[in-house]
Structure 1
Amino acid sequence: MKQLLEELQSLQNEVINIVSSVPEKNYSQQFHPDLSPIGWHLGHCVYTETYWIREQLHGQQTIDNSLKSLYIPELSKKQYRGAALPEKTELLEWAQTTQSENCELLASIINEHNSHQLLENNYLIYFLIQHYSQHIETMVMVLTEMQLQKPDFDYTNTNNLKPEKLIPKTQTIDAGRYEVGLSKMNFAYDNEQPSHSVKLHSYNIATKPVSNSEYLQFINDDVYNKKTCWSDEGWQWINATQYKYPHHWRIANDSIYYGVNHDGAYSLENNAPVHGLSFYEAEAFANWRGARLPHEHEWEIASIKNIIKQTGLAWEWCNNTFYPYHDFSPYPYEGYSLPYFDGKHYVLRGGSRHTKGCIKRTSFRNYYTADKRHIFAGLRLIYD
């Protein structure tokens, strides 16, 4: 228990440090239409822990309505959140004080051997740890977008990215019935439950995700302009957006691609997994190679069997939309998963370089609409 509380406090401090490091002029600025200002993420995380610890667990009704209207996502549109934030120093002081009080209250309630359902198997602590962890990755996205908006970089290329033809290296999974998901004995989000059996046909899955150099070959083969490789919806999207390379790539004066992350410009490694791709781009790449994206259960079983490599370096798009498992039950609230079972959100598995270890479990289901490419997402192929 002490270790879990210390982990929560460490994540609280990390969010504080991220916001502290951002200049005042940028702290409330929205850098991408799908991302909130970085200061909002701190306020939202602190509001969320306060709601669950004080209101739901302890029975207090002490949260100011102004906090609810700003930090409950459904009550606050992203484009207006920055203007509603308090000054940076004020938010930081409130956040640190509130976090400290919340941790003391939570420890006190636990020491009283409270039998509240939220404390069963340490559920609430795990929930808050993972909530902070997910927002930290999103905050890295915000910092990356801040860098991407710079007009130019003082960049000297040190590692020329070279195109490489993809030579499939695969492992075969035999047809059969397999267990996926997690039981309630383990911490899991509602959409990961319950554990259940699925029937899979035999398939050959790539041992590694698609690399930067392999994706450069896709670009050089002009696949962004080849209609036959794109779905109808994807072709409409790429013609409307006119994207020509991954979201996190830029082109130097010498026509060499380089990457941009939260720290600025960097040289792209040839063998590193590509990221900054939409589902449409991932799907087009798979079609170009005569392959397909995995169903999430195919990915999960391959991960459980430990036959796929370089997982957790880039989220990996799957070919199925996000859906509820049989006997799905929303918990601890309906808003985490239920609104996204809409047939428009596709599943991603694995995690990125910026994903915390607690999220990188084989059963974790991420989900975004097919057009999103600001996330750290790439792909892995399956050959039938």
Structure 2
Amino acid sequence: MNIIEHYKQTRNLTNSLCKPLEIEDYTPQSAAFASPPKWHLAHTTWFFEEMILKPFLKDYMVFNVEFSFLFNSYYNTLGKRIARHERGLITRPSVENIYKYREYVDKHIEKLLGDSQINEDVSKLIVLGINHEQQHQELLITDIKYTLSRNPTYPKLYEVAYANMLQETDPLKFIDIKEGIYNIGYNKNEFCYDNEFGFHRVFVENYAIANRLITNGEYIEFINANGYSTSKYWLDDGWYFINTNNIEYPLYWEQENEIWYVYTLAGKELLNLDAPVTHISFYEANAYASFKNKRLATEFEWEIANAQFNWGKTWEWTNSAYLPYPNYKQDEGAVGEYNGKFMINLMVLRGHSVATSPNHSRPTYRNFFSPETRWQFSGIRLAK
């Protein structure tokens, strides 16, 4: 697939994810971490305009000068921006105008890509923009789900229930990995994020990692054993978090007459006990591992062993803080703000989820969220 086709396919997928939305669904912001669909549509477009069209397309005229302020996310080098928790207050511009913005930028990106003299810097930025939009496609799904979950009528948006339709039926076994020195990080010529560099070696002791994820049914054992009210399983920060927020089970779960249900984007459903548990925080994943007298793998242990198990149903919490690799170099300018400045107070997740866009992940991919994060499709793989 050439770069123009890849660009068009990515942009069309974003639009298709929004197609089932009602106009009223585009603007509400249900939490500071969950951006409105309208903002995602505009921000991913702003990225191509700000990073590529303005510096590289001669005589380009911006669609709307106010959009640089409204739809900048966290790029300090590109000027001021609206506060993250106020994105849902942007009732104007209209949804119709945002789609016109997307069409306008698409037309000019395709014009730029049609230039036979396009340079390598532009090509790299286009590919980065495509991957950036793919990240926002998953965020669209998870943010929409969180917002609709706050509606007591349990709206149905898609035919697909995502994680609740999955199965983890293999017996739980542990794969032994021998101690030794292993290579970590990305060393190929295709796209990756800068946080996957630099390629380096690590030493690990003998360990074992589970062949599959923990299921809903297995996690219910933790709940029934009073796991959420037994402090010894919890990190102190996690204990404070669940008690402050009255958390007693995973996000989107609900119990009626001793039967568990879950909200999905296909509506409220009976909880599939054989599906992998999802929408749990690092704190919950770590507490469950403690309950089972196991632990979470480090991101290095996960990467070393990944070829020996199936992954990709949920993001998998690791016991690794999000830190730079040896010889990591942050890019100059706005692009350098993409990953490096977030390397504090976050935990690494590996793999990808059922909501991740096709062909977006790889074994060296390093996702990262704060340890209390629950609205992503995150799950548990045990290690020992």
| Fold similarity call, TM over 0.5 | yes
Match of residue 323 from structure 1: 323
Q: Secondary structure at the match of 2:66?
A: helix
Corresponding position: 1:275 with 2:282: no
Structure 2 residue ranges without an equivalent (≥5): 75-80, 157-163
Paired with 1:187 and 1:54, the residues of 2 have a C-alpha distance of: 21
CA drift at 1:168: 4.4
Deviation string for 1:250-286 (max 9, x for gaps)? 23x3331122222322333222211000010001001
Match of residue 364 from structure 1: 365
Paired with 1:129 and 1:340, the residues of 2 have a C-alpha distance of: 21
Match of residue 45 from structure 2: 46
Paired with 1:83 and 1:60, the residues of 2 have a C-alpha distance of: 32
Q: Trace 1:209-224 onto structure 2 (pairs within 5 A).
A: 209-224=213-228
Q: 1:182 to 1:59 in 2, by over 3 A?
A: farther
Q: Trace 1:216-255 onto structure 2 (pairs within 5 A).
A: 216-251=220-255, 253-255=256-258
Corresponding position: 1:300 with 2:299: no
Paired with 2:171 and 2:232, the residues of 1 have a C-alpha distance of: 21
Match of residue 262 from structure 2: 259
Q: 1:12 to 1:382 in 2, by over 3 A?
A: same
CA drift at 1:198: 1.3
Q: Secondary structure at the match of 2:114?
A: helix
Q: Secondary structure at the match of 1:73?
A: coil
Deviation string for 1:119-163 (max 9, x for gaps)? 3xxx233212211110000000122113311214499xxxx99xx
Deviation string for 1:179-226 (max 9, x for gaps)? 111126221101001221111111100000111111111111110000
In the alignment, is the contact (CA less than 8 A) between 2:36 and 2:144 conserved in 1?
no
Match of residue 71 from structure 1: 71
Q: 1:39 to 1:377 in 2, by over 3 A?
A: same
Q: Trace 1:102-113 onto structure 2 (pairs within 5 A).
A: 102-108=109-115, 111-112=116-117
Paired with 2:242 and 2:269, the residues of 1 have a C-alpha distance of: 26
Say which is worse superposed, 51-60 or 140-149, in terms of deviation. 51-60
Say which is worse superposed, 373-382 or 357-366, in terms of deviation. 357-366
In the alignment, is the contact (CA less than 8 A) between 2:148 and 2:155 conserved in 1?
no
Q: How many residues align?
A: 364
Paired with 1:118 and 1:93, the residues of 2 have a C-alpha distance of: 24
Q: Secondary structure at the match of 1:134?
A: helix
Q: Trace 1:138-217 onto structure 2 (pairs within 5 A).
A: 138-153=139-154, 168-183=172-187, 185-217=189-221
Paired with 1:25 and 1:154, the residues of 2 have a C-alpha distance of: 13
Paired with 1:201 and 1:59, the residues of 2 have a C-alpha distance of: 56
Which amino acid counterpart does residue 338 of structure 2 have in structure 1? Y
Which amino acid counterpart does residue 339 of structure 1 have in structure 2? K
Paired with 1:42 and 1:27, the residues of 2 have a C-alpha distance of: 10
Corresponding position: 1:80 with 2:86: yes
Corresponding position: 1:286 with 2:289: yes
Corresponding position: 1:134 with 2:135: yes
Paired with 1:41 and 1:60, the residues of 2 have a C-alpha distance of: 27
Paired with 1:154 and 1:26, the residues of 2 have a C-alpha distance of: 11
In the alignment, is the contact (CA less than 8 A) between 1:349 and 1:365 conserved in 2?
yes
Paired with 2:261 and 2:11, the residues of 1 have a C-alpha distance of: 33
Say which is worse superposed, 171-180 or 57-66, in terms of deviation. 57-66
Match of residue 376 from structure 2: 375
CA RMSD, aligned part only? Answer: 2.3
Which amino acid counterpart does residue 281 of structure 1 have in structure 2? E
CA drift at 1:105: 1.7
Which amino acid counterpart does residue 49 of structure 2 have in structure 1? T
State, as a whole percentage, how many aligned pairs show the same letter: 28
TM-score by length of 2: 0.89
Say which is worse superposed, 259-268 or 274-283, in terms of deviation. 259-268
Say which is worse superposed, 233-242 or 80-89, in terms of deviation. 80-89
1:93 pairs, out of 100, 103, 122, with: 100
Q: 1:152 to 1:340 in 2, by over 3 A?
A: same
Which amino acid counterpart does residue 103 of structure 1 have in structure 2? E
CA drift at 1:345: 0.3
Which amino acid counterpart does residue 313 of structure 2 have in structure 1? L
In the alignment, is the contact (CA less than 8 A) between 2:50 and 2:68 conserved in 1?
no
Paired with 2:6 and 2:267, the residues of 1 have a C-alpha distance of: 29
Q: Secondary structure at the match of 1:21?
A: coil
Structure 1 residue ranges without an equivalent (≥5): none
